[in-house]
Structure formats: C-alpha cells, structure tokens
Amino acid sequence: MSFLDSIDPRCDALIVVDVQPDFMPGGPLPAQGGDEVVAPISRLLDADRFRHVVATQDWHPPDHVSFASSHPGRAPFETVELYGAEQVLWPDHCVQGTGGAQLHPGVPWEKAGLILRKATDPRVDSYSGFRENVAPDGGRPSTGLAGYLRDIGVESIYVCGVARDYCVKWTAEDGVAAGFRVHVLWPLTRPVDGAADEAVRRDLTRAGVTIVDEMDTL
C-alpha cells in the first residue's frame, strides 16, 4: 500500500514548505536540486488525496535581520548571536514583491486552502510554519498555523518542500510539539547542505517525526 492509500482526507493535511524560485538552482539561496521537487509535488496536489493543503511562503522585507547585507562586514552563511540564539546570515532572498519570492508557477496553488507568509517581521527570522525563530523578547511567536489546523479537524500532517535541513525540519519538529502526528515526505524535500542529511534524519526521528522514504506512485 502506498502512503497515498493511507491518507484520511478528513484529518490529514499536506504542508508544502517554501517552494519558491529563490530556493531553486540559479536563485540566491538554492537548495540542492530544489527544482526536482516541483513536478512531483504538483502531481501530489493534482491527485486530490489531501482535502487540507497549506503552503508556506518566505516573505522578507528588504532589510531583514537574517540577511548578511543587514550586518556590515559580515558575509552570507556566517553565524552570529541574535537574541541569545544562533542566527545564520543568508544572502538576500525571497524579498517581498520580487519574482523570486513568488510561489513556484509549476505547482497548482489553487489546491491550497491557506498560504501562510512568514519572516515578515524585519527583526525575526522564521523557518518553521508554526512558530517564528527567537524574537527580541526571547520567545518564539506563533504563526497561528496550529490553531488553524485544529479548527479544521487536522490531526496528522505531511510535510514536503525546501529546505529539508531548515524550514522543513523546523516545521516538522514544531508540528510534533504542537501535538500533531507528523510525516516528512523525504523524496519531496531537498537540502541546502546535503552533508547534513544524516543528522537531519536523526533529529527528526528523535523528535517523533515519521520519515516517508518510498513514494513510487509519484
């Protein structure tokens, strides 16, 4: 039985994380092979097995604190301490209103019941679809996604998209913390750093996430 046969449309949801051109090859922050997930995610949505679909969208203001360009003398991929936590400094990417920030045109986004824009606060980064990164007060503000999913009866979530070592991983882990059963559709994710895959799998498993490796039907 394929994983699609186990989907219960009443209480299962698909979360498609940050499938945007700036994370594709040729963009300023490419996931390795990021463009390879576009077609199978499109086929998954067209299969209409998921009644509940959420898309997350990175949507940074141009002066976002996570950009290396906002820290004079710093370069992309350096790390700094921000509000007591480690912050990776990224190349400018997914800037509000730019073409690279749009949802990828190869995916039928009309299937999504919610498009959740994140990282809109210039002071706070946001990897997870559920909670922002550490804020100036030391907390991690909610995006409201958990409440939305509960209100529509969702109990289990399936996560795909990019990047598996950052936004996919954090979304999955926070989903477990919010009380959902969480599955990561590994073949429909791609990493920024493929060398981290073993650690990502280990961390997800320890957090209680189920990793789905076999997706022959897509």
Backbone angles phi, psi at 146, to 5 degrees: -60, -45
pLDDT in tens, 152-201: 999 999 999 999 999 999 999 999 999 999 999 999 999 999 999 999 99
pLDDT value of position 1: 56
Residue 55 burial (C-beta neighbours within 10 Å; 0-12, 13-18, 19+): buried
pLDDT in tens, 21-39: 999 999 999 999 999 999 9
pLDDT in tens, 99-144: 999 999 999 999 999 999 999 999 999 999 999 999 999 999 999 9
pLDDT of 216 higher than 90: no
**What ranges do the domains of the chain cover?**
8-62+100-212
Mean pLDDT in residue range 87-98: 97
Asked if 128 contacts 120 with a C-beta cutoff of 8 angstroms, the reply is no
Question: Is the whole-model pTM more than 0.85?
Answer: yes
pLDDT in tens, 43-66: 999 999 999 999 999 999 999 999
Neighbours of 179 (CB within 10 A): 11
pLDDT value of position 217: 62
What percentage of residues in the chain have a pLDDT greater than 70? 98
Specify the CATH class of 8-62+100-212 in words. alpha beta
Asked if 165 contacts 203 with a C-beta cutoff of 8 angstroms, the reply is no
Please give the positions annotated as active site: 18, 118, 167
